[in-house]
Structure 1
Amino acid sequence: MTIFEHIIAGDLPASFVHRDADCVAFMDIHPITRGHVLVVPRQPAETIGELGPELRAHLWETAHRVGQAQQRALGSRAQHMLLNDGRAASQTVPHVHVHVIPRYGRDHARALVRIAWHITTLALPTRESPARRRRLDADAAAIAAALAAPRPG
């Protein structure tokens, strides 16, 4: 089982933003920017091509909605949506996942440094701290509330 399957099963803690019958969205434990979310299908699949067309569409629609909610909840101006589709594409967990990384403007240099840091942290064991989990939970709650709120227009 991958770490994502353990999170989906409830065996490991996560700060969830969204859950439905087909996918979940939760805070990245090593965020590149504040509010970094992973959107993950419940179905175990290493690459997006292993998912059916309806699930692929649902995954991207969920990622899009999470990005809109990040903007409303956290004040981000845009987001990167990133899919490393397979080991040769630097996928570190062999389970499809879309990174929805909020961008706040004027943060290019910092974001590049954090991307490099993010990659290195994947190889290093990380201890969970109560303060880190509280921050992730607070951002998850804000994004989840924005997802649940009626959308303007």
Structure 2
Amino acid sequence: MKDKDCIFCKIANGEIPSTTLYEDEDFRVILDLGPGSKGHALILPKEHFRDLNALDPAVAAKVLPLAAKIGAAQMKALGAAGYNVVQNNGTEAGQTVFHFHVHIIPRYAGAPKIVTWTPGSPSKEELAETGSRIREAL
């Protein structure tokens, strides 16, 4: 299924031009127009899925191997020292386009850190309670 009003559906299916790095029957991989670093790519499924929770399992099984393939190519072609694989779900998590997509962001030695956080220090009791609540929701 495609969403006629979704910009990523239009890009993934070739209705809107993009700098395409890779394409197959399920995905188009493009360069991000607002990159976090040189070579920042987006993996876009050709079918519309709002987020990870809506993603078809058969499509999901292909995403990480494709991310590894793109990341390895970024390292080889651009001299990246590594890469981040980022996927946001929901507004509070940073999702701005509600079409499942994965960012592959090359990382270069000496460049600013992009994906970081300050580790918390929960108590054993808090971890146990949090774990219990999540397990119950499964």
By how many angstroms is 1:8 displaced?
Answer: 2.0
Query: Of Structure 1 and Structure 2, which has the larger fraction of its residues in helix?
Result: 1
Higher normalized contact order (CA 8 Å, seq sep 6+, divided by chain length): 1
Identity of aligned residues (%): 33
Q: Would you say 1:41 and 2:45 are equivalent positions?
A: yes
Amino acid paired to 2:66:
T
1:73 aligned to 2:77? yes
Aligned counterparts of 1:2 and 1:48: Cα–Cα separation in 2: 16
Give the aligned partner of residue 57 of structure 1: 61
Q: For the aligned residues, what is the CA RMSD?
A: 1.5
Residues 40, 59 of structure 1: 8 Å contact kept: no
Partner of 2:31: 27
- Which deviations, in whole Å up to 9, do the C-alpha atoms of 1:26-78 show, x marking residues without a partner? 00001110000000111101111212222112012111110000001111010
Once residues 10 and 54 of structure 1 are traced to their aligned partners in structure 2, the CA distance between those partners, rounded to angstroms, is: 22
1:99 to 97, 103, 115: 103
Bigger mean CA deviation after superposition, 26-35 or 100-109: 100-109
The structure whose Rg is larger is: 2
- Answer whether contact 2:13 2:46 (CA < 8 A) is retained: no
* Paired amino acid for 1:66: I
Give the Cα–Cα distance (whole angstroms) in 1 for the partners of residues 106 and 68 of structure 2: 11
Give structure 1 stretches of 5+ with no counterpart.
113-153
Flag as ranges the 4+ runs of structure 1 deviating above 3 A. none
* Conservation of the 8 A alpha-carbon contact between 2:71 and 2:106: yes
TM-score (norm. length: structure 2): 0.75
CA contact (8 A) 1:25 1:40 kept: yes
> How many Å separate the matches in 2 of 1:9 and 1:68?
25
Q: Give the TM-score, by structure 1 length.
A: 0.68
SS in 2 for 1:17: strand
Correspondence for 1:150? none
